[in-house]
Copies of this chain bind each other. A is one copy, B any other.
Amino acid sequence: MAIQLQPVKGFRDLYPADKALQNYVFDKLKAVASLYGFENYDGPILEPIELYLGKSSKELVEEQTFKIKDKKDQTLVMRPEMTPSLARMIAQKANQLVFPLKLFNLGLRFRYEAPQKGREREFYQADFDILGTENILADAEILAAAVNIFLNLGATENDFVIYINSRTFVDRKLTELGIENKKDIMSCIDRKDKISREAFLESLKKASLNEKQIIDLVSFLESEIKPQDDEYFKKLFNILKRYGIDQYFKINKNTVRGLDYYTGLVFEAKDLSGKINRALLGGGRYDNLVSAYNPNIKVPGIGFATSDVILLEFIKIINKAPQLNPCPTKYLVTIFSQETLNDSIQILNKLRKQNISAEIYPDTEKKLDKQLKYADRNNIPYAVIAGPEEIQKGIVKVKDMKTGEQKEINISDL
């Protein structure tokens, strides 16, 4: 059987040009983490299925994960998200950690869903979290970090908006309406903006709401709300204004997020071009999740995640994906002939010792023009030419590959 040369569906081969662009996005995410004081951590790719059951979302864990049976017949899951692993790690060492704790992870996640624009089965997520405080300032810091990611990638107010909402707020309304199966209704609301109005009403009926409940709920969801109408939002917007970022936020009662563990603030970023269907970033408060793993402790948390796949899509749409050269080399040291090989190696050593990125053409049998073509095709800025004449004079020729200009330089000055 011939072996498939393409990657498995939903997985990516990242050749150097694609990898360079991914690294560009990674660097922006790391820069925000560092500027905002988030410490880097990581956890396992495989976790027992029990870690997620009853926390993330039933659909996600049961239908959208890659599962493995280990040799002891335990079911392990390739992590679909990071928050449960994080909460487990916090529960494990709560006594030794310094709270409040600001944490950052950049790592792989896996979801067994149909691939589409902005979604792969294997992707990186960056997670930013603040643990150990329920204070509203932590909410603001998390939102500020989220905004900073987009600004760092070159986006403006015209490119994205962050919808915010409060689960407490929606929860209160559901109680008022006498609705008991709140988890089901939250997940209906989460889908509202992705489906037709008819389909949404149908889903509420299926979730056994009566006609009055449906009318009241829809009217609640569709009525406008201003920050000043609610104490929490009023306070939050005041702080966001001090941060100079309130213009990026809008309250949206339909934003409830799909994960079961959220408690207070929930939010998601959307691109304003209308070209990306999915959230650019999403998160919220999860004040009870750590206790779910260790009932003896209470560590409130708030955080968000965004993926490399969606951010790569986003910067292409807003025309902010840079042209990058994946080749790090500054100087290609060419080989004139077998006789001068040793001299070429010594020039190479000299450059590298000064921490200058340099290569020697790794084949002693190829003509000079072939070597220069290699420099050209790899966008290497300079080629060093050292023939017997030059070496005798103690010099090399350094060729600027863009202009074609050649300069003679003393070997001792290299």
Interface residue ranges, A against B (CB under 8 Å): 1, 3-8, 11-16, 19-20, 22-23, 33-48, 50-51, 66-68, 70-71, 76, 78, 88-89, 91-93, 97-98, 100, 102-103, 108, 110, 112, 122, 130, 133, 135-138, 141, 239, 242-244, 293-294, 326-329, 335, 341-342, 345-346, 349, 352, 355-365, 374, 377-378
B14 contacts A41, C-beta separation under 8 Å: yes
CA distance A89 to B4 in the complex (A): 10
Q: Please state if B39 and A135 are interface contacts (CB–CB under 8 Å).
A: no
Contact in complex: A15, B41 (CB < 8 Å): yes
Closest chain B CB from A401 CB (angstroms): 14
The residues of B that contact A345 with a CB separation of less than 8 Å are 239, 242-243
Q: Chain A's interface: helix, strand, loop or mixed, by majority? A: mixed
Most B C-beta atoms less than 10 A away, residue of A4, A67, A91, A136? A4
How far apart are the CA atoms of A50 and B3 in the complex, in Å?
A: 7
A355→B35 contact, CB < 8 A: yes
State the number of copies, please.
Answer: 2
A44 near B5 with CB under 8 A, answer no
Q: Which residue of B lies closest to A302 (CB)?
A: B362
Q: Do B42 and A19 touch across chains, with their CB atoms under 8 A apart?
A: yes
Closest residue of B by beta carbon distance from A15? B41
Residue A122 contacts which of B6, B46, B91, B355 (CB distance < 8 angstroms)? Answer: B46
Given contacts A14-B42, A35-B352, A362-B100, contact A8 B294 (CB under 8 A): no
Knowing A36-B352, A37-B357, A293-B3 are in contact, say whether A44-B13 is a contact too (CB < 8 A).
Answer: yes
Which of A345, A356, A361 has its CB near the most chain B CB atoms (within 10 A)?
A345
Further pairs besides A37-B328, A68-B78, A137-B363: 19, Cβ < 8 Å: A3-B48, A3-B50, A4-B50, A7-B43, A11-B44, A13-B89, A35-B355, A38-B328, A67-B68, A71-B112, A98-B377, A100-B363, A102-B359, A133-B362, A135-B362, A137-B335, A137-B362, A141-B360, A243-B349
Contacts of A358 in B (CB 8 A): 35, 37
Could you say which residues of chain B place their CB within 8 Å of the CB of A22? Answer: 42
Q: How far is the CB of A360 from the nearest CB of chain B, in Å? A: 7
Question: Is there an interface contact between B67 and A41, defined as CB atoms closer than 8 Å?
Answer: no
A89 contacts across to B, CB distance below 8 A: 13, 15
Within the complex, the shortest CB–CB distance from A285 to chain B, in Å, comes to 13
By a CB distance below 8 angstroms, the chain B residues around A135 are 362-365
Assess whether B7 is in contact with A362, with CB atoms less than 8 Å apart. Answer: no
Q: How far is the CA of A15 from the CA of B360 in the complex (A)?
A: 40
Question: Would you give the shortest CB distance from A84 to chain B, in whole angstroms?
Answer: 9
Question: Contacts of A102 on B, CB cut-off 8 Å?
Answer: 359, 362
Bound-state Cα–Cα, A343 to B78, Å: 45
Residues of B within 8 A of A36 (CB): 352, 357, 359
Distance to closest chain B CB from A63 (angstroms):
10
B360→A137 contact, CB < 8 A: yes
Nearest-neighbour CB distance to chain B for A110, whole angstroms, equals 8
- The answer to whether A20 and B40 touch across the interface, beta carbons within 8 angstroms, is yes
Give A357 to B34 CA distance when docked, in angstroms: 6
Task: Find out whether the CB atom of B44 lies under 8 angstroms from the CB atom of A357.
Answer: no
| Chain B residues near A377 (CB-CB < 8 A) | 98
Contacts of A103 in B (CB 8 A): 16
Contacts of A359 in B (CB 8 A): 36-37, 102, 141
Enumerate chain B residues within 8 angstroms of A33, measured Cβ to Cβ.
328
Chain B residues with CB under 8 Å of A363's CB are 100, 133, 135, 137-138
Give the residues in chain B near A239, CB-CB below 8 Å: 341, 345
For A78, list chain B residues within 8 Å (CB): 45, 68
Q: Are B40 and A23 in contact (CB under 8 A)?
A: yes
CB-defined contacts of A346 to chain B, threshold 8 Å: 242
CA distance in complex: A4, B70 (Å): 16
